[in-house]
């Protein structure tokens, strides 16, 4: 199926709600949970989830949702996660990924890491404009969500005040100790040139968030997620 056909599958509003819910969880989601979240019957949810799988937007597996095994544990249920394949549409056709990979390869071979990071930091500052450095984790999450990083809070001191932001699918709260990101906008190029591109990404976010405010960005790679996290600055960690 072509990318444009896959993305067209999301035109159905129920299907899109189900997709956005599964993506926002960052884990396997069963049919009952997805149906409840989307406000539809389980049979309708199952139909749409399978259509999303056929389109390559979700991946499907099976496991026992009870967490038990052996006799009496019940049959494995279908579960869904976001597909790892990247989808994009450009009309007319463009190939910016190849250009990005060629530029990254040339920069890496020429040892231009420092220059690239300096340029990325300036771009982040330009995106922030005249605004002051990011005022806190909640504000940082809004900025990151707007740029497609899919942030979520981890290590909150309590669950009070932590809630889902309906507009972005991000989890916000003021008690979180660290903000992680499920999506890296530069994932395809970062896979081939991780030190170069991850360093560029960190510098970009340092410029965007600021380096002398109450929060900071730092490298903390985790498989399947963005290599950068955002946390309170040391002077504001208590």
Q: What DSSP string runs through 142-183? A: HHHHHTT--EEEES-S-STT-EEETTTTEEE-SS-SEEEES-
For residue 174, the model assigns a pLDDT of 46
* Residue 116 pLDDT grade (very low, low, confident, very high; cuts 50, 70, 90): very high
pLDDT tens digits along 133-142 = 999 999 999 9
Contacts with 98 (C-beta within 8 Å, 6 or more apart), sequence order: none
Average of per-residue pLDDT across 213-224: 93
Q: What is the pLDDT of residue 191?
A: 94
**24 cis-preceded (ω within 30 degrees of 0):** no
pLDDT-derived band at 165 (thresholds 50, 70, 90) equals very low
Position with higher pLDDT, 166 vs 120: 120
Does the predicted model carry a pTM greater than 0.95?
no
217 Ramachandran zone, left/alpha/beta (phi>0; psi -120 to 50): beta
For residue 176, which phi and psi values (nearest 5 degrees)? -70, 140
Q: Determine the Cα–Cα distance for residues 213 and 137; give it in Å rounded to an integer.
A: 11
Confidence (pLDDT) at 93: 86
């Amino acid at each position: 199926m072509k990318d444009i056909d896959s993305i067209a599958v999301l035109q159905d509003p129920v299907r899109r709600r189900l997709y956005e819910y599964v993506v926002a969880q960052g884990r396997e989601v069963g049919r009952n949970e997805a149906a409840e979240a989307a406000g539809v019957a389980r049979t309708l949810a199952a139909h749409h989830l399978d259509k999303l799988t056929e389109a390559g937007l979700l991946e499907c597996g099976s496991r026992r949702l009870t967490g038990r095994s052996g006799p009496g544990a019940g049959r494995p249920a279908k579960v869904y996660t976001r597909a790892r394949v990247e989808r994009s549409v450009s009309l007319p056709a463009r190939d910016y990924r190849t250009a990005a990979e060629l530029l990254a390869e040339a920069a890496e071979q020429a040892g231009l890491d420092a220059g690239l990071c300096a340029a990325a930091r300036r771009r982040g500052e330009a995106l922030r404009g005249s605004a002051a450095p990011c005022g806190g984790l909640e504000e940082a999450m809004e900025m990151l969500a707007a740029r497609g990083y899919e942030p979520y809070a981890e290590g909150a001191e309590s669950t009070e005040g932590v809630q889902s932001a309906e507009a972005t699918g991000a989890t916000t709260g003021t008690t979180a100790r660290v903000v992680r990101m499920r999506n890296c906008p530069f994932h395809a190029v970062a896979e081939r040139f991780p030190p170069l591109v991850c360093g560029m990404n960190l510098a970009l976010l340092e410029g965007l968030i600021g380096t002398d405010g109450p929060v900071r960005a730092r490298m903390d790679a985790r498989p399947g997620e963005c290599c950068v996290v955002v946390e309170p600055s040391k002077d504001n960690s208590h």
